[in-house]
Structure formats: structure tokens, C-alpha cells
């Protein structure tokens, strides 16, 4: 109910998303999604979301672990012909029941599987961060363009009503011109053996995994791209974080003069927010990036940011399916993913060189 | 009522402060304070606070404006013998009714008048920032030491119950070890002709005037000194802020690994807070640095930060008077003021050189 007014203002994706309500009424087609990588995210978030989505359904799986294939086959009634491993993956090209390939692999594998997905002639949806480097992103975008298929990046918050309302408040200057943003996202990471702590697999630490949410929030609240970044890193556990960043804090300038203070960490829980300070008031979210329980707030009691709980994965996948069905552009696209990697590379460069750096190519 | 438990933990000043309750019961002596500089702060905050203080009273004024001398003389029944201008100031040495000289002048005049106050053989209380440079602070400390008199800096928040409770929560690790601090203080400055926008008088802009509160909060919440700072400046009004900083955002590392994201501005209202993120929860204040209406919060509903309104100027002046009467050390001392200037100089250096810089000499 509350969605229409602000969705209507949010461009191509929003239009496709809103039109989905009609598609559903008319009994719209459900696109078949193949999940590549059956880790925790696929198991606990994505598969349940596909089971209830309106325009998307689980149609195939790709896994390197035969035992997982058996479990999923039993649970979701997936025919053997729709089960692939990383060697047989390319045969997915011959499967008309797969419209979209969703890459849920460690970051270092994104490029390979997006490119292979493009060559298989499928639309591809890729988890964030899009890749480990901006160059990988560029090659992924080029491959998808050559295949003539759509590429989306899994920035689920962009489809979440509280975040969309905050974008609207910023765009419509409800509290006057935006002046300053603070944002942070972090958590205390557990299992020291996980791929997220391996540089060659994850590309980096907290920044790549969760800092990217705070970075994204700054970008879509500001509605412009950062031009200069000054970053600092701290490491309190040099063993656990031998390969990747533990805590990073950075300051980021936008062309309009807006400045953002942002942080991310794998070292402790609690930071999960953004705050927008405008000429005539403030608004924000805390918690901002969790799968549920999100809370928005504003400095004016009469302006509330309250929406019912949403399954972020369901809405983002349905939005991608609807964009495909309507043949309309999808945001967040690969270009969006690339822009985050350009900023992330600037953050790491600033830390490495101990100086403020320009964000190049953004 | 609520004060005793936490004051008892806060060292020398706290002890002097608490003992003041007894002094009052016993009809303790009120020290005579001379106000140097009769601007807005003296008029609207300090003089009214002295009128109700328990251990401090207004005994003399120093002003360069004869009309102000007349107004104050009439309003506060100050004898002619207790009214000075900047030329006759040094005669204050002969006035036994003046125990303390409170310097409420533009920052660039602090050194001169603190040194002259020392030479007059008086205790001196100096508004923040203590001076424009760390070198000025060092000379002021040396002069006071040579005179054998006490030097205090007007960090009013250190005497405010919400702030003191936050220090206690940090020190006692009520929410576990501190991990991250955010802090910011700014406002949209008005009159473009005021001394605060003149570099030679103010030493700098928002950072010198209000950013110092956020810097202070980070230092007393962390309970340690910053070692490295990476800062960025933005300027949206290069005319108004031709000489001084408009908005600065900086990241600051502490030896324990705690990191702080801090901002200050003269460009807009709204930022007036600090947040401490600890292992097992968070706490903070918003607004944090106003003269009244301060609000504390924590992530645990059962841990509240609630205190009655306090006149910050009354409590800080009385604390200084009590320290003098009890002949006990006073914090915040000149060394505290110097430490802020060392951090401030590092912030400006980081901006100037576009790189992260060590805080030297802190």
C-alpha cells in the first residue's frame, strides 16, 4: 500500500517493480533461477525467498558438493537434469528452464561464472561485492553486453522499503539539502577458517563483505559519486586478520560538498546504521542492513519511516525477473557494482599509501 | 543525589567536586572571579552562572568597551576599583578580591592574557580552545607553573553528569571493551563578520570552536590519546569560509585499536552527538554538547543515562574554585588543553598534506 508513491519516483527498476503487481494479477510468468553455490546464503535466504517469490522460482542448482546436490534435490524436487557441478556448468546453456543464473560463490569466482553464464546465453544475477577488482567488473560487464543479456548485482537494500523511503527523503529534500552522511556496518566474524578471511577468495575483509553496504548507502542517499577518500585501518587481531582488513574507517567527499564518515569491521558487533544530516533535519536507519528488524527514524515526529517486514531476497529477485520480462533496464546493474569496486580500490589505496586519494574512473 | 556514585570514581577533580557539597554545608568561601572579555558567552552563560554558584562569584570585569563596563557595573554592582581594561589589566595583581581570572577572549588573545594573569599572581581559567597553537599552550603552562598558580581549561562537558556517566560506562566496561567512537558537533554559523571566521583571531574555524568538543569526547570516552589521524575538509562557501575551515571529517586511531570517526562543521545544523560502540552494546549522547537538553541513551533498556539539567558553567567554575580551595589538582588542566591542540594541529596537517599523520608529542 505504502509502496506506490515512492516507487513511482525511482526510475526504471521501480517502474518494472511496480508493474509486477499487475503481472501478478494477470498470472505473470515465473522465471527459472539457477543457484550457483549452495552455501549459507543460498540455503537460508535465497532458496526460501524463491519458494515464495511471484516472478522467480528455483529451477536448477550448481554445486561442487555431491552431498549438497542430494539434499537440495530431495528438498526442492529438482530433477537430475537440472543439477550441475562446476565442470558441467556450461551445459546450462541447453536448459530452457533456466532464465537467470544467480552467482552465490566466493567473490574471487564471480568473474569466471558470470562470464561463463554470459556465454551460456543466460541473464546473470551476481552477489555483492560484484568482484574482487574493478577490472574484473569491467570484463564481466563486457561479457554480458556481448551476450546481450542482463546483469544485476545483489544489492538487496535498494529494494527494501525503508531504504527506498530514505532515498526519496534525500531526493525530494524533505529535510532540505543533504549535508553529511555517517554510515557503518560490521560484525564480529566467527569461524577463522571461512573463505571470507582468505584474501585470494574474498579480495579483502570487512570492507568487501559488509562495508560495501555502508558505501552503497552513502552513494544512494547522496545520489552522486564519491570523488576523494581518506581511509584508516586498524587491526587488533593480526592472526585472524592476517590476510584481510579487520576495521576500516574512511571519510569520503562528494562533488556537491556532502561528506561521509563511514566504517566497517569484522572485529565487533553493533555498527549497522546510516544517518543523513540535512539543512533542516536528520533521518536514518539503525539497524539498517540486517535481513530483518530494520528501523528508520527522522528528526520530525510527524515524518515516520515505517514499513512492514520485507524479504529482501524475494523482492530483489522478483525485481530482476520483472525487468527481464518487461525488457527494461535493471538497477543495480553491473555498472553500479563497478562503481563500488572503484571506491573500494580507492579506500585500500588510501590505506596503503597513507594519503587521501581521488576515486578514479567513477 | 545520583552524582555521588560516579563522581567518586573520577579522580582528583571529582574528589574536589564532591567535597564541595561539604564545603557548602559548612558555608565554604566563594572565590572571586574576574571575567576578561564581556561577549555573548560572558553575558548569557558565565555571569548568570556565577550569580548562583556555590564557591565562585563575579568580583571584577575586564573589557575594552567602556559602554559594556557601565552596563555590567550597573547590573552586577561592581565597584569602579574592580573594573579594568586591557591596558590596566595588570593592576589586577593588587586586587585581593580577585582569586581567579577567567579568559573569555578570542582564541588568539588567550596566551597573552593567561601569561599576564600568571604574572599578576592569579589562578587562571581559560576558555577552549586553550590557544591557537600547541606552542602557545606550552608557554601558557610554563608561565602558570612559574607563577605557582592553577590553570584550568573550560571543558564544561567534563563536569556534566551525562558525560561523566558515559565516561564511567566506558571505564567500567559496562558494555564490554570500547571498539569504536563516532562523534560530531557543528552548527550553521551566522554573522559573517564575527571573530570566529577570522584566522588570526580564531586560529581556525569549526574545528577550533566546536569540533574540539567532539575531539574531547573521543579522548575522554576512549581514555587514551589518539596516535594517528586522517582528515578531509570540504568547503561549500569559499567566501564566508575564506580564512577558516567549514567542514572537516576525520578518522583517528587510538593505541588500543579503538578507532573514531569525527566531524565538525560551521555549514549546517544537526550534528551534536557521540556514540560509543563496545563489545556488548552501545551508548551515547544526542544532543551531546548543547548548554541544555542533553540526552543520553544506551542499547540496553535497563541502563539509562538520565540526569537533571545542570548549569555547565556553574559546575565547572565551582569545580575549579573547589580545587583551589582544597589545593588539589584540577582536570582539565593546561596539559589537557595542549593535548587537544596537538590533535588539532595533526588534523590540519593531515588536510594540508593530504595524508594520514602521527599525532606528535601527545
For the stretch A197-229, pLDDT in tens is 999 999 999 999 999 999 999 999 999 999 999
Return the sign of the alpha-carbon dihedral for residues A11, A13, A16, A21: negative
Residues B169 and A305: their CA atoms lie apart, in Å, by 31
Residue among A251, A281, A299 minimizing CB distance to B250: A251
Helix axes A11-25, A312-326, angle to 10 degrees: 90
pLDDT-derived band at A26, boundaries 50, 70, 90: very low
Domains by residue range for chain A, with CATH: 3-156 (3.40.50.720), 161-307+334-358 (3.30.360.10)
Residues of A with CB under 8 A from a CB of B: 179-180, 182, 184, 188, 228, 230-232, 234-236, 247, 249-253, 256-263, 265, 267-271, 277-279, 281-282, 299, 350, 353-356
Residue range B61-83, pLDDT digits in tens:
999 999 999 999 999 999 999 99
Residue among A250, A256, A299 minimizing CB distance to B251: A250
DSSP tag of B239: T
Task: Calculate the dihedral angle through the C-alpha atoms of A170, A175, A178, A182, rounding to the nearest 10 degrees.
Answer: -90
Contact B249 A247 (CB under 8 A): no
pLDDT at A122 over 80: yes
Position A29 scores a pLDDT of: 85
Helix axes B212-222, B161-171, angle to 10 degrees: 40
Position B28 scores a pLDDT of: 67
Kindly report the nearest CA distance between residue B190 and chain A, in angstroms: 14
Kindly report the nearest CA distance between residue B203 and chain A, in angstroms: 23
Span B272-295, average pLDDT? 97
B312 and B160 Cβ atoms separated by less than 8 Å: yes
Return the sign of the alpha-carbon dihedral for residues B12, B14, B17, B20: negative
Q: How many CB atoms lie within 10 A of CB A188?
A: 12
Beta strands at A31-36 and A56-62: parallel, antiparallel or unpaired? parallel
Considering only alpha carbons, which residue of chain A is nearest residue B274?
A182
DSSP tag of B226: -
Chain B residues whose beta carbon lies within 8 Å of the beta carbon of residue A236: 256-257
Position A108 scores a pLDDT of: 97
Position A103 scores a pLDDT of: 98
- Give the active site residue among A128, A155, A339, A348: A128
Q: Is the ipTM of this complex over 0.90?
A: no
pLDDT at A246 over 90: yes
Span A2-27, average pLDDT? 39
Residues B279 and B179: their CA atoms lie apart, in Å, by 7
Mean model confidence pLDDT for chain A = 93
Instruction: Name the grid cell of A103.
Output: 552467482
In chain B, where does DSSP find H-type helix? 3-7, 11-25, 40, 47-52, 66-76, 110-119, 134-147, 161-171, 199-202, 206, 212-222, 312-326, 334-353
DSSP tag of A58: E
Position B3 scores a pLDDT of: 34
pLDDT at A104 over 90: yes
Identify the residue whose cell numbers are 550448481: A62
Position A6 scores a pLDDT of: 33
Residue range B205-236, pLDDT digits in tens:
999 999 999 999 999 999 999 999 999 999 99
pLDDT at B111 over 50: yes
Q: Where are the beta strands (DSSP E) in chain A?
A: 31-36, 56-62, 83-84, 100-103, 123-126, 151-153, 178-186, 228-234, 247-253, 259-265, 272-278, 281-285, 296-298, 357-358
Contact A232 B356 (CB under 8 A): yes
pLDDT at A17 over 50: no
A251 and B230 Cβ atoms separated by less than 8 Å: yes
Residues B117 and B152: their CA atoms lie apart, in Å, by 12
Residue range A278-331, pLDDT digits in tens:
999 999 999 999 999 999 999 999 999 999 999 999 999 999 999 999 999 999
Chain mean position to CA A58: 20
pLDDT above 70 as % of chain B: 92
Span B165-176, average pLDDT? 98
Span A116-141, average pLDDT? 98
Chain A residues whose beta carbon lies within 8 Å of the beta carbon of residue B353: 355
Kindly report the nearest CA distance between residue B257 and chain A, in angstroms: 6
Amino acid at each position: 500500500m505504502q509502496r506506490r508513491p515512492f516507487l513511482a519516483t525511482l526510475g526504471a527498476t521501480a517502474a518494472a517493480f511496480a508493474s509486477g503487481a499487475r503481472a501478478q494479477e494477470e498470472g505473470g510468468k515465473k522465471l527459472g533461477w539457477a543457484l550457483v553455490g549452495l552455501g549459507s546464503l543460498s540455503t537460508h535466504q535465497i532458496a526460501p525467498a524463491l519458494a515464495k517469490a511471484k516472478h522467480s522460482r528455483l529451477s536448477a542448482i550448481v554445486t561442487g558438493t555431491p552431498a549438497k546436490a542430494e539434499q537440495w534435490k530431495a528438498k526442492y524436487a529438482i530433477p537430475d537434469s537440472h543439477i550441475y557441478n562446476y565442470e558441467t556448468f556450461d551445459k546450462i546453456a541447453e536448459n530452457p528452464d533456466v532464465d537467470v543464473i544467480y552467482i552465490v560463490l566466493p567473490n574471487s569466482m564471480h568473474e569466471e561464472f558470470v562470464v561463463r553464464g554470459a556465454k551460456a546465453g543466460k541473464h546473470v544475477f551476481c552477489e555483492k561485492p560484484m568482484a574482487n577488482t574493478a577490472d574484473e567488473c569491467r570484463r564481466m560487464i563486457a561479457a554480458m553486453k556481448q551476450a546481450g543479456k542482463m546483469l544485476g548485482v545483489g544489492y538487496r537494500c535498494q529494494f527494501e522499503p525503508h531504504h527506498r523511503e530514505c532515498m526519496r527523503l534525500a531526493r525530494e529534500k524533505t529535510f532540505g539539502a543533504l549535508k553529511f552522511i555517517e554510515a557503518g556496518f560490521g560484525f564480529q566474524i566467527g569461524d577463522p577458517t571461512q573463505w571470507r578471511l582468505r584474501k585470494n577468495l574474498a579480495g579483502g575483509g570487512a570492507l568487501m563483505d559488509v562495508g560495501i553496504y555502508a558505501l552503497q548507502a552513502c552513494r544512494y542517499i547522496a545520489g552522486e559519486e564519491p570523488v576523494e577518500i581518506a581511509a584508516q585501518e586498524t587491526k587488533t587481531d593480526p592472526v585472524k586478520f592476517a590476510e584481510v582488513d579487520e576495521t576500516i574507517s574512511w571519510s569520503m567527499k562528494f562533488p556537491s560538498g556532502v561528506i561521509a564518515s563511514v566504517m566497517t569491521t569484522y572485529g565487533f558487533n553493533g555498527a549497522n546504521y546510516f544517518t543523513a544530516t540535512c539543512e533542516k533535519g536528520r533521518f536514518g536507519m539503525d539497524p539498517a542492513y540486517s535481513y530483518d528488524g530494520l528501523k528508520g527514524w527522522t528528526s520530525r515526529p510527524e515524518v515516520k519511516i515505517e514499513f512492514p517486514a520485507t524479504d529482501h531476497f524475494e523482492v530483489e529477485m522478483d525485481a530482476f525477473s520483472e525487468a527481464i520480462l518487461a525488457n527494461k533496464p535493471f538497477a543495480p546493474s553491473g555498472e553500479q557494482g563497478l562503481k563500488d569496486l572503484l571506491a573500494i580500490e580507492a579506500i585500500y589505496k588510501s590505506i596503503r599509501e597513507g594519503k587521501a586519494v581521488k576515486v578514479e574512473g567513477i
